[in-house]
Structure 1
Amino acid sequence: MKYTGVYWLGPVYDMGGYGNVSRNFLRAFESIGIPVFIHSIGPEHQEIGESTIKWIKNLSSNQIGDRVVFIRHGLAELFQVSFAVPHVVKNIGVTLFETDRLPEGWASFANLMDEVWVPSRFNYDTFSKSGVSPEKLKVVPYGIDVTKYSPGRPCKKLAFPSSVNSFVFLYVFGFDYRKGYDLLIKAFCDEFSPAEDVSLLLKVYTHSDIDPEFALSEIQSHIPPERCPSQIAIIPEPYSEEDLIALYQNCDVYISMDRAAGWGMPVMEAMALGKPVIALRWGGSTEFMNETNSFLIETEEALVPVDAKLQAARPRYYLHHQWADVKIEKVRQVMREAYVNKKRREQLAKKAAADIHQYYSPARIGTIIKKLLS
């Protein structure tokens, strides 16, 4: 390899999606034997587990040599910040975005890098159309720890709320207006009667800048009183990674209604565990989801403006952006099919696990990285 080591700057201890991605990149570097110095930024969540924290600390090395690749993982604003890292011969930014374009300034920040790694062809297109030099863009998919997320692992039984019915749709998400929980709740209530033995379980976590009580009340405002908690239950409590895996294992179908997914790590985790999944056929998740391994909700041909509440709440990132147009009838149709068609659920789940384990293991992503750095 041309380079002696990697200086990794990213949210490695974060329980959220960015932290998960950072750790999986570290596993990929570990698989190809390139030394990494780990510079942690952002929150440090103990929920990732003591063994993971110990692994990160043991993996970090000061011996990364005199031809260093400096990789920054996070929002593109991070690319303009000056850091005193010695012996850097290449600067790489790792990021993504979920709508049809980039926030203002992001293209300029990205063009400061020698390379920008994006996880999907979807983002290759949106970044290049927004002004990032195409020759800088490299598609490096996100990996997953297939040793943890495996269909054969023992299943821990979780105590669901007593009201939850035997068939469970699960959605795990961080509270945000782009997560489409309102659309999902309406589709569920319109499609399934109170007499049917089916429930929707919403595992929601809130970021540090959001009031948990506000997030909970906002979600509850979309749930008809007669459905909660008899058919729709919310789990707001923090979960460890082990309990989250058990939650996936104890559901029947994982469904994401993320209106704009930069990647879709929870979907990927459920697939790796051998669970049937539902998501939109739009965005970054189409890199690993297709009609052979997933239930896909077809979107309309023309895009529409992102939710007005999202534009108002975060204009810096979403003002004038667009995303897929989703008709509730199509959401209902796919949910019904997933509910009644056990044979297809089993076929898709088996293929999903095989695809994720074959193409998105740390070792497989490591081979992609090794080729780029050779």
Structure 2
Amino acid sequence: MKVLYFGHYKEGTGWAQAAIDYILALDSVGVDVVCRNINLTGVEHQVPNKILELESKSIEGAEFCIQHLLPHHLVGTESFKKNVAYFAGETTTIKHQPWFVHLQQVDEVWVPNSDLWSSLSSDSLPVGAIKVLPHTKDISTYKQPVDPIEINGVEDKFKFYCIADLNDRKNLVSTIRCFHSEFSKHDNVALVVKVKKHGVSQQDLHSHVIELSEVIKKRLRIFSKSEMYADVVVIAENVPGSVISSIHELCDCYVGISKGEGWSIPAFDAMAFGNTPICGDFGGPKEFIDRNNISTGKLVGGQLSICDCQDAAFPEIFTGLECWFEPSEVETKKAMRYYYENRQEIDRTSGIKRAEKFSYEEVGNQIKELLNG
């Protein structure tokens, strides 16, 4: 079996990391895989040496094609036994988007979660052509020593944290509001916000999140003085993956209540580090958080609402014709309080045990089965 794998895997994003992990998963189970990068931004980030090795191989003899690309880059072809698109969406429908038309060029569409499978089925993509394939990860990375990191002001506190781009979908406002509504200076807690946004300076990012926190405090009107609220610490620097791992190692409970995730790599990583991610009961997190084991994390309920998005990456997506999932702030606060007060009762090994179900070997073999199916 020889697979040609296209991806935007040098972009330095979660989307890029997912492509890298799938390629390496295929290689780990003995598949002859050759990869090609499709550049989006003109910038190429460093990738593992193994990816460069697979990239140097010839495409001659490839039997299967996987296009892990934004849909407007997809190409229809009959040159392979199977031509597959990998697609990650976050809303309940895409039938009004041009992307929906692009997806119809391929033989199969693979998606990372069952909710997206249901959405595309409802949009009238052929049910038999839609397959669920979870993300994968090199589990050994969670078992390696992590360099310690110091964050001033949080040393002895219980640390909630989130890692997110600054955009409407990531729902940072709700995360900060839940934190300030539930906790105060009387609680030994802090919220660490690791944030980034393309084209915005670190200083502006830091100032924006701090200002956002202050505005939320004023609107909540719980205390007359800002210093009575629990601390929010912002990390706006661009940092390598090793530092992200150090943040996971340092912190205690991940809060990822975005309005939709195809998967959520930070939440999955948090689970593997034993940090009980709190996520909405929709999309990707449903695939890896075990709702019967509170030590793997908590899925909070919510409701579907009309997309109201001012900063979509493309003008055709996240419009008012789509709905996304808004996690309940009441349930989120309750989950945060639970993990704060019951931290000694959490089995921190449950997360890594759960993560092992998504190892390169497990998912690599799933890919082989899908291609041969």
Q: TM-score range by the shorter chain?
A: 0.7 to 0.9
Distance 1:350 1:140 in 2: 25
Q: Secondary structure at the match of 2:139?
A: coil
Would you say how many aligned residue pairs link Structure 1 and Structure 2?
Answer: 356
Paired position in structure 2 for 1:26: 23
Q: Secondary structure at the match of 2:257?
A: coil
Paired position in structure 2 for 1:294: 296
The one-letter amino acid of 1:129's match is S
Distance 1:134 1:93 in 2: 15
Structure 1: runs of 5 or more not aligned: none
Judged with a 3 Å threshold, the aligned counterparts in structure 2 of structure 1 residues 326 and 273 are, in CA distance, closer, same or farther, namely: closer
Paired position in structure 1 for 2:249: 249
Q: Shift of residue 32 of structure 1?
A: 1.8
Paired position in structure 2 for 1:110: 103
Q: Shift of residue 342 of structure 1?
A: 1.6
> CA deviation digits over 1:72-130, x for unaligned, max 9?
11222222x479xx953421101110111115122221111011111111111011112
Q: Shift of residue 295 of structure 1?
A: 3.5
Judged with a 3 Å threshold, the aligned counterparts in structure 2 of structure 1 residues 178 and 214 are, in CA distance, closer, same or farther, namely: farther
Paired position in structure 2 for 1:100: 92
Paired position in structure 1 for 2:335: 334
Aligned pairs for 1:184-203 (under 5 A) are: 184-203=175-194
Q: Shift of residue 139 of structure 1?
A: 1.0
Q: Is the 8 Å Cα contact of residues 203 and 236 (structure 2) preserved in structure 1?
A: no
Does 1:7 find its partner at 2:9? no
Structure 2: runs of 5 or more not aligned: 218-225
Q: Shift of residue 65 of structure 1?
A: 4.2
Q: What percentage of residue pairs aligned between the two structures are identical?
A: 23
Judged with a 3 Å threshold, the aligned counterparts in structure 2 of structure 1 residues 368 and 327 are, in CA distance, closer, same or farther, namely: closer
Distance 1:314 1:227 in 2: 39
Distance 2:245 2:202 in 1: 23
> CA deviation digits over 1:35-81, x for unaligned, max 9?
222211235454x5xxx4322112335344424312111222222x4
Q: Is the 8 Å Cα contact of residues 183 and 230 (structure 2) preserved in structure 1?
A: no
Distance 1:115 1:82 in 2: 11
Match of 2:80 among 55, 80, 88: 88
Paired position in structure 2 for 1:160: 151
Judged with a 3 Å threshold, the aligned counterparts in structure 2 of structure 1 residues 117 and 308 are, in CA distance, closer, same or farther, namely: closer
Does 1:206 find its partner at 2:197? yes
Q: Over the residues paired in the alignment, what is the CA RMSD in angstroms?
A: 2.5
Paired position in structure 1 for 2:141: 148
Q: Is the 8 Å Cα contact of residues 37 and 64 (structure 1) preserved in structure 2?
A: yes
Q: Shift of residue 310 of structure 1?
A: 4.9
Distance 1:177 1:211 in 2: 18
Aligned pairs for 1:208-357 (under 5 A) are: 208=199, 215-224=205-214, 226=226, 231-291=231-291, 292=293, 293-300=295-302, 302-310=303-311, 315-320=315-320, 321-344=322-345, 346-347=346-347, 349-357=348-356
TM-score by length of 2: 0.87
